[in-house]
Chain A
């Protein structure tokens, strides 16, 4: 069939000039108004850590929110001037000339409540006690996160997001935006996600939680007061998680049965995969907070918008009016393509605007973070098509618009 639009030429031209957003600065927004939570409790006050890239246009219509998954943060793109190796987790996706082009869009990355990277969480001080929240920090949900994101949007003067985008647990947040804040979102990009977790997925999360909670240094979550950290539990939790993010195929290709130093008839790491998992576990246990891990996995387990409508996802999607891009990856078994197709089916039943790309990629769930020509081309095409529908082009406006931390060289 003849193509009536060239699909590659302009994309290639842009890839050639893609670059980093450069050095960025995280910001903190403080909120004094209490935030009611799904669990019934209320956060009396809270901080939200965020970063922005690009320039908000005069009509404030070019803002894109990036929602993070389990262990990521607001540091989506660019790097820190004093720590140039600390590159944003979605730097291959977000930046000048990248699929989500910061020359055109104002991109916001925000750290979710309950996390350990700057937003209020278990490591923060509880104003009622003057001590860190620790295990007393509430169990927060995807809905709570999205409510907090809406507070930040208000603070930044963004009435409607041009798009909310996320992978995995981040995709669930984009979906929640579409359902509960339909007038505040034009496009939802739901990538490598699912409308809820399967029993198998909850099972993996429970094993991870058990690993942490049975660590002798967990101390019912008050390990901070004891000056320790349940490192062993965190390590095992991360090792389990990591296995589920990779595909069997990819693990075989990357490690196979490779040995480090022959067989020594010992329990020291002998296979490369063992030492790789141990390394990933060690690294994670150093930078991540156990109480955060417990809460984030719970947020994953709880998310299920269909339950509000008796399990009918299509009915739950009734309020959603935005356009959807749903993307899955063929070797992802943590959030398999069938789960994305379930979401697409419900959207089609609702006659919503939705496109669905099933990307052939060998990398399992992690594929959403990695380079893949078709994946990135589809996301790029989506944002380019959107840009054609923005009321004012960024280049025509932007004077006096907020650009809190655009330090790009």
Chain B
């Protein structure tokens, strides 16, 4: 017996009926990312946590797709929230995904905690047409001032002490610009936020959170 053959339309936009979607943008980078993700886009969110960003993009952009999360608590929260989640270690790459399978691949405030940065950025641009990366800007003036005073920086964007931080690859806006340029990646958009607002003047000094959109 054979079932009715449907088209490739089974994937429902995620989480449309979810109550939390209207609860406001919990993180400053979500609104910017939402503005860059196209309507009905197919999205892969690396290090998706409880799926909040994907839920936001489903509500805002009718986006479909998947989150990748390594932590049990995050996977459980995604299942509870009706978000497609795949439990996997990003450090092992994205072997479970085909080339150009996604419109956009997002790495939101996870970059700085990863060991193999070049590998994951390369993988993002393999499986996605575009990549969006957000990270806390180590170049912010308060961080510089704390280092001048002889201490490791602790701030709202970097709330950890040196001994308990998960962040092992911190960089500045200027560092990331150079990283992309050296590899020939094209920056499509770049927004640097401070207190939730875009900064225009000396972003590497005044910006807290950097948000990049780039492609090969």
Q: Does B79 lie within 8 Å of A356, measured CB to CB?
A: no
User: Interface size for chain A: under 10, 10 to 19, 20 to 34, or 35 or more residues?
Assistant: 35 or more
Q: Does B72 lie within 8 Å of A374, measured CB to CB?
A: yes
Tell me the bound Cα distance from A318 to B5 in angstroms. Answer: 7
A residues in contact with B165, CB < 8 Å: none
A residues in contact with B98, CB < 8 Å: 349
Interface string of B155-170 (1 = CB under 8 A from A): 0000000000000000
Q: Does B52 lie within 8 Å of A4, measured CB to CB?
A: yes
A residues in contact with B50, CB < 8 Å: 1, 3-5, 7
Q: Does B11 lie within 8 Å of A7, measured CB to CB?
A: no
Q: Does A5 lie within 8 Å of B20, measured CB to CB?
A: yes
A-B pairs with beta carbons under 8 A, tally: 113
Interface string of A2-21 (1 = CB under 8 A from B): 11110100000000000000
Q: Does A357 lie within 8 Å of B73, measured CB to CB?
A: no
Interface string of A289-302 (1 = CB under 8 A from B): 00000000000000
Instruction: Say how far B20's CB is from chain A's closest CB, in angstroms.
Output: 5
Q: Does B77 lie within 8 Å of A7, measured CB to CB?
A: yes
Tell me the bound Cα distance from A358 to B74 in angstroms. Answer: 12
Which residues 1-56 in B have Cβ within 8 Å of A in the complex? 1-6, 8, 10-12, 17, 20, 23, 26, 42, 49-50, 52, 55
Interface stretch of the complex, out of B80-88, B141-149, B201-209: B80-88
Q: Does A374 lie within 8 Å of B6, measured CB to CB?
A: no
Instruction: Say how far A139's CB is from chain B's closest CB, in angstroms.
Output: 18
Q: Does A4 lie within 8 Å of B86, measured CB to CB?
A: no
A residues in contact with B96, CB < 8 Å: 341, 344-345, 348
User: Contacts A1-B49, A7-B77, A183-B4: A348 and B101 contacting too (C-beta < 8 A)?
Assistant: yes
Q: Choose among B3, B75, B82 the residue that contacts A378 (Cβ–Cβ < 8 A).
A: B75
Interface of B is mostly: loop
Q: Choose among B23, B76, B82 the residue that contacts A7 (Cβ–Cβ < 8 A).
A: B76
Interface string of A151-194 (1 = CB under 8 A from B): 00000000000000000000000000001111100000000000
Tell me the bound Cα distance from A327 to B211 in angstroms. Answer: 34
B78 within 8 A of A: yes
A351 within 8 A of B: yes
Interface string of A364-408 (1 = CB under 8 A from B): 000000000010011001101100110000000000000000000
Q: Does A353 lie within 8 Å of B12, measured CB to CB?
A: yes
Instruction: Say how far B57's CB is from chain A's closest CB, in angstroms.
Output: 14
Interface of A is mostly: mixed
Q: Does A354 lie within 8 Å of B84, measured CB to CB?
A: yes
A residues in contact with B72, CB < 8 Å: 360, 374
User: Contacts A4-B20, A385-B80: A356 and B87 contacting too (C-beta < 8 A)?
Assistant: yes
Instruction: Say how far A217's CB is from chain B's closest CB, in angstroms.
Output: 39
B179 within 8 A of A: no
A residues in contact with B12, CB < 8 Å: 353
Tell me the bound Cα distance from A352 to B12 in angstroms. Answer: 8
Q: Does A348 lie within 8 Å of B5, measured CB to CB?
A: no
User: Interface size for chain B: under 10, 10 to 19, 20 to 34, or 35 or more residues?
Assistant: 35 or more
A258 within 8 A of B: no
Q: Does B79 lie within 8 Å of A381, measured CB to CB?
A: yes
Q: Does A384 lie within 8 Å of B64, measured CB to CB?
A: no
B97 within 8 A of A: yes
Q: Does A319 lie within 8 Å of B64, measured CB to CB?
A: no
Q: Does A4 lie within 8 Å of B23, measured CB to CB?
A: yes
User: Contacts A5-B50, A7-B76, A325-B79: A182 and B11 contacting too (C-beta < 8 A)?
Assistant: no
Q: Does A357 lie within 8 Å of B49, measured CB to CB?
A: no
Chain B residue, CB-CB nearest to A384: B80
Q: Does B76 lie within 8 Å of A355, measured CB to CB?
A: no
User: Contacts A352-B10, A381-B76: A5 and B84 contacting too (C-beta < 8 A)?
Assistant: no
Q: Choose among A183, A352, A382 the residue that contacts B3 (Cβ–Cβ < 8 A).
A: A183
Q: Does A349 lie within 8 Å of B101, measured CB to CB?
A: yes
Chain A residue, CB-CB nearest to B109: A1
Q: Does A182 lie within 8 Å of B4, measured CB to CB?
A: yes
Tell me the bound Cα distance from A355 to B75 in angstroms. Answer: 9
Listed in ascending order, the chain B residues whose CB lies under 8 Å from chain A are: 1-6, 8, 10-12, 17, 20, 23, 26, 42, 49-50, 52, 55, 64, 66, 72-88, 96-98, 101
Q: Which 10 A-B pairs have the closest CB atoms?
A: A1-B49, A321-B10, A381-B80, A351-B11, A182-B3, A381-B79, A319-B3, A4-B20, A356-B86, A358-B87
Known: A4-B26, A181-B3. 9 other contacts (CB 8 A): A4-B81, A7-B73, A319-B4, A344-B86, A348-B96, A350-B8, A351-B10, A356-B87, A358-B87
Question: Could you name 25 residue pairs across A and B whose Cβ atoms are closer than 8 Å?
Answer: A3-B73, A4-B81, A5-B50, A5-B80, A5-B81, A7-B73, A7-B77, A180-B1, A180-B3, A181-B1, A182-B4, A318-B8, A319-B6, A320-B10, A321-B6, A321-B10, A341-B88, A352-B11, A353-B12, A353-B84, A355-B79, A360-B72, A374-B72, A377-B76, A385-B81
